Structure 1
Amino acid sequence: MRPSPRLLAALALLPLALTACGGGGSSGTPAAPPSIAPASADNRPVKNGGTLNVALNADPDALDPSISTTLVGREVFASMCEKLYDIDAQSTLVPQLAAALPEISDDGEEVTIKLREGVTFNDGTAFDAEAVKKSLDRHRTWEKSARQADLEAVSEVSVVDPATVRLKLKRAFTPLTAQLADRAGMIMSPKALDAGEDNFGASPVCVGPFTFVSRTSGSQIALEKSAGYYDAAKVKLDKLVYKIIVDPNVRAANLKSGDVQVADQLATTTVKGVQSDPNLSVVSGGGLGYYGITINTGNATGSTDKPGAVNTALAKSPQLREAFELALDRDLINKTVYNGLYEADCFPVPLDSPYRAKDLQCPKRDLAKAKQLVQASGVPTPVPVTLTSPNDAVNQRLAQVVQQMAKEAGFNVSVQTAEFVTALEQGKSGKFDVLLNGWSGRVDPDGNLTNLVTSRGSNNYSGMSDPGIDDPIKQAAAESDPAKRAELYAEAMKKAAELRGVLYLYHNKYYLGMSKTVAGVQYFKDGLPRFVTAGFAA
């Protein structure tokens, strides 16, 4: 179905400030930029020294791996908090603080991990099995931890010897290595944990190429080269400063002026303008995650609490949730808001994932059916919906497009904006009707599902709770055959699509803008710029 002329006219009248730094095609929609190379293609030699200023698009939440939930937080952690495992340029799981991939028992319920030896934390404390146990136990048992679901399958962590830990599992759990390649596998200095207690994030200490120096909330986070890093010869920069620049146009402008040398998550409306600058380049990463509209269907008192009744029109009516989805045109949203640089989709697992079943189909916009469902619901029109959006310009643009599309089907969407972290807090606590939010994505599909759509998951802001979702996801996690896992995930995702607690819109690519004087940056599908080998070109 083609977009209605009325809708196109309405979208054309929305604020166009976001396109100020981009170019436009003859159709009025900026053309997609030419091929963007991965950062790993830049192998120029790098000289020692210097301070690299990196613009982040939001202020991270607490720099505590146990409680952090933001992508920008993960970006900072990538420079100062190493994990047991990581991914490489091919998205293959590789050892980081572990010395090898884990040894798994025949029944899958015992996992033995050998650790790097001769490693110290950035405060000089020895990295050993006792330290690993302390961090893993904190991640999985601390009442405030957001990692509990990640490590829920682990029943016990034991020290075999100073360089070996063993994890006893409640059941076979295939995604464990992938979980340990993210925040659940970050190991914190036991000395810093003892000193900081619950406030570790105020002065975090891990193993990493850079060590934490200071943080000014809403302004910047400063790191410096770690003298005791086990692979210090690789590290060229003296300092790394993350600057918080929320406005995408300002972020691009600061990159062009040289105030920052790297800018993360360029708005798609600024990509072409950055590319056209002879002193700058753009590299692409990401694609594992998604963005969408979360509808509060049962999050009455908090995402980890028992689901309860939510007194909103969409929460009470599956018909209205279906109508709301059918009012949306994902392809047009991608073109209108993101210059066609993302990948429209209605499921949380990427289209190129080996765990993505081929029969998963997305509904096209069907305004006639949407209107019929609204009328059949018996709710007086226009149906009120309050949409909470992060307060950056791109999210506000998306909110306005959703508002106009839904209006044609009989919804009256009012938009409320909030600081990014505040919006996440509202999502977690259930203090919202409809929320724009996303997930940066994980290599194993379990990381895009378990904590986000299963009952009482900490990031299940919708409050969905259904055995048709929970059971196949749990079964898939215990299954080692990728084809069988794909079938089970498809079953769960189809059920979640019926409940419509989340209306997925697209898989977002990330675009990293860089001065051409910068080399050695690694940028993979997880969207985390890695600066361990970065510096200024020799």
Structure 2
Amino acid sequence: MRPSPRLVAALAVLPLALTACGGGGSSGTPAAPPSVAGASADNRPVKSGGTLTVALNADPDALDPSTSTTLVGREVFANMCEKLYDIDAKSTIVPQLAGALPELSDDGKEVTIKLREGVKFNDGTAFDAEAVKKSLDRHRTWEKSARQADLEAVSKVTVVDPTTIQLTLKRAFTPLTAQLADRAGMIMSPKALDAANDNFGAGPVCVGPFKFASRTSGSEIVLEKAPDYYDAAKVKLDKLVYKIIVDPNVRAANLKSGDVQVGDNLATNTVKGVQSDPNLKVVSGGGLGYYGVTINIGNADGATEKSGPVDTALGKSPQLREAFELALDRDAINKTVYNGLYEVDCFGVPLDSPFRADGLQCPQRDVAKAKQLVQASGVPTPIKVTLNTPNDAVNIRLAQVIQQMTKEAGFEVKVHTAEFVSLLEEGKAGTFDAMLVGWSGRVDLDGNLTNLVTSRGSNNYSGMSDPGIDDPIKQAAAESDQAKRAELYAAAMKKIAELRGILYLYHNKYYLGMSKNVAGVQYFADGLPRFVTAGFAA
């Protein structure tokens, strides 16, 4: 898709502050996409001791594995709250707090998990099957838990013995191990849970290489080396300090000045500038998730409530949503906003996923057809749309590009900015028209769909509710044959594309900037920097 001359002219008048972000800019030769292998392959010896300061692009929500919904929260959890399973550099699921991969009964409804022995939580409490049961039951039954859908297939957790648990399922659920490789598999100290209950996130205690020390809202989160960690000899750093630096140019500037040694989620127009600094390097991760425009088409009373009518032009009219999408040029967005460093797509399945069916097609930009649909709708133009966006410069720029593109088709987009966590609350509550929001992605495609597009899903901000989506996704989760799963997911994604509750724009790669004297960082396709073996090069 090539941007039209008219579109290029429209994009050229965007505010200078947004088109000329520092750290390399978006003009000239694009930055070279770094490789995710660059971090994982850096096994230089590191010194013991020291504090590593990491810039986060947003302030996480509560650091409670049961309620957390943010990527930045997962970044912090990756270094203080281990899970039953994890992924490795090849995106293969591997045991972490579990001692081995699960054993399944013939019908797939009994799942037995052996646990790692000799493990303690970061408060010294013993890690055992009772502790695992307490956390899993909290994840799946607590009314405030965002993990309920992740573990919905689990009907009972049984302690077999101190080192073994058994999960009884309502139905075979193939993605379960992948769910347990994320927050649904994070195990919390039972002592801390009993003491804090609903306020666990204010002082979280898990098993991990680092333990929670303090948090200053909007400013920083401090973790310290955990003396009770089962593999403490592997941990070299004394302390991790996460600084909240929302502005991408300030994050890049702090990297260059040395005030931080690692910067997460670099804006693509700062990648080139960071790469060119002789004291810095950039590695990439991500690609499992997506970013796009979520349109409220049925979230009348909250994401987890029954779908209902929404009184907005886009919410009421599938043909106006089609017109809105046809006004967008995904390639132009990628080049103009992201320096061409993202992966353009219109589906929620990664481009290299084994679950991606052949022949998935994305619509080309067609302003003429979009205008026809707008005219046929009978809605007076310009059609007003409020687009909620995170309040950082890059998202504002994306919103303004969308504003310019859709204006040609007869839409008048008002950009409403909000702090990221507030934006998520508006999404959950359904108090929005359209919003820019993404998902960091999971290795099993069920994790990109169930909570986000099925009826009453905890993150189904659009309020989509259709058996053409729900049924094949549920069937795929119970299916062990990969080809059949891909076929079922393709059917669901076709229906998602028709309803247009989400207009997927791209799969975002995550770019991690770091000082060249930092080594031992593990950075995988999930985009979560792991610092368990990190330190300063010896």
Report TM bin, short chain.
over 0.9
Residue identity opposite 1:203 in structure 2: G
Give per-residue Cα distances to partners, 1:388-425, cap 9 Å, x unaligned: 00000110000000000000000000000000000000
The question of whether the paired residues in 2 share the 8 Å contact of 1:24 and 1:31 is answered with: no
Give per-residue Cα distances to partners, 1:332-359, cap 9 Å, x unaligned: 0000000000000000010100000011
Query: What is the match of residue 367 of structure 2?
Result: 367
Residue identity opposite 2:345 in structure 1: D
Distance 1:195 1:41 in 2: 41
Distance 2:114 2:61 in 1: 31
Equivalent residue runs for 1:120-139 within 5 Å: 120-139=120-139
Equivalent residue runs for 1:34-113 within 5 Å: 35-36=34-35, 37-113=37-113
Query: What is the match of residue 218 of structure 1?
Result: 218
Equivalent residue runs for 1:211-360 within 5 Å: 211-360=211-360
Give per-residue Cα distances to partners, 1:229-282, cap 9 Å, x unaligned: 000010000000000000000000000000000000000000000000000000
Query: What is the match of residue 21 of structure 1?
Result: 22
Given the alignment of the two structures, is residue 409 of structure 1 paired with residue 409 of structure 2, yes or no?
yes
The question of whether the paired residues in 2 share the 8 Å contact of 1:23 and 1:31 is answered with: no
Give per-residue Cα distances to partners, 1:429-475, cap 9 Å, x unaligned: 00000000000000000000000000000000000000000000000
Given the alignment of the two structures, is residue 476 of structure 1 paired with residue 444 of structure 2, yes or no?
no
Give per-residue Cα distances to partners, 1:183-237, cap 9 Å, x unaligned: 0000000000000010000000000000000000000000000000000010000
Query: What is the match of residue 207 of structure 2?
Result: 207
| Shift of residue 21, structure 1, vs aligned partner | 2.8
Distance 1:93 1:333 in 2: 34
Query: What is the match of residue 158 of structure 2?
Result: 158
The question of whether the paired residues in 2 share the 8 Å contact of 1:48 and 1:237 is answered with: yes
Q: Secondary structure at the match of 2:68?
A: coil
| Shift of residue 38, structure 1, vs aligned partner | 2.8
Q: Output the aligned Cα RMSD.
A: 1.0
Query: What is the match of residue 189 of structure 1?
Result: 189
Structure 1: unaligned runs, 5 residues or longer: none
Pair 22,222 (structure 1): closer, same or farther in 2 beyond 3 Å: closer
Query: What is the match of residue 397 of structure 1?
Result: 397
Distance 2:363 2:24 in 1: 31
| Shift of residue 35, structure 1, vs aligned partner | 4.4
The question of whether the paired residues in 1 share the 8 Å contact of 2:25 and 2:269 is answered with: no
Q: Secondary structure at the match of 1:360?
A: coil
Q: Secondary structure at the match of 2:201?
A: helix
Distance 1:467 1:100 in 2: 36
The question of whether the paired residues in 1 share the 8 Å contact of 2:399 and 2:415 is answered with: yes
Give TM-score, length-normalised by structure 1: 0.98
| Shift of residue 24, structure 1, vs aligned partner | 6.1
| Shift of residue 23, structure 1, vs aligned partner | 3.8
Query: What is the match of residue 31 of structure 1?
Result: 30
| Shift of residue 29, structure 1, vs aligned partner | 5.4
Residue identity opposite 1:278 in structure 2: P
Distance 1:35 1:514 in 2: 13
The question of whether the paired residues in 1 share the 8 Å contact of 2:80 and 2:206 is answered with: yes
Distance 2:533 2:282 in 1: 18
Residue identity opposite 2:274 in structure 1: V
| Shift of residue 5, structure 1, vs aligned partner | 1.9
Distance 1:285 1:69 in 2: 19
| Shift of residue 33, structure 1, vs aligned partner | 1.8
Give TM-score, length-normalised by structure 2: 0.98
The question of whether the paired residues in 2 share the 8 Å contact of 1:450 and 1:457 is answered with: yes
Distance 1:192 1:24 in 2: 47
Distance 2:273 2:63 in 1: 33
The question of whether the paired residues in 2 share the 8 Å contact of 1:14 and 1:400 is answered with: yes
Distance 1:171 1:2 in 2: 47
Query: What is the match of residue 419 of structure 1?
Result: 419
Q: Secondary structure at the match of 2:30?
A: coil
Query: What is the match of residue 491 of structure 2?
Result: 491
Residue identity opposite 1:32 in structure 2: A
Give per-residue Cα distances to partners, 1:45-74, cap 9 Å, x unaligned: 011000000000000000000000000000
Distance 1:299 1:35 in 2: 39
Q: Secondary structure at the match of 1:53?
A: strand
Distance 2:322 2:490 in 1: 19
Q: Secondary structure at the match of 2:510?
A: strand
Distance 1:165 1:2 in 2: 55
| Shift of residue 30, structure 1, vs aligned partner | 4.5
Structure 2: unaligned runs, 5 residues or longer: none
| Shift of residue 20, structure 1, vs aligned partner | 3.7
The question of whether the paired residues in 2 share the 8 Å contact of 1:453 and 1:469 is answered with: yes
Distance 2:33 2:395 in 1: 25
Q: Secondary structure at the match of 1:512?
A: strand
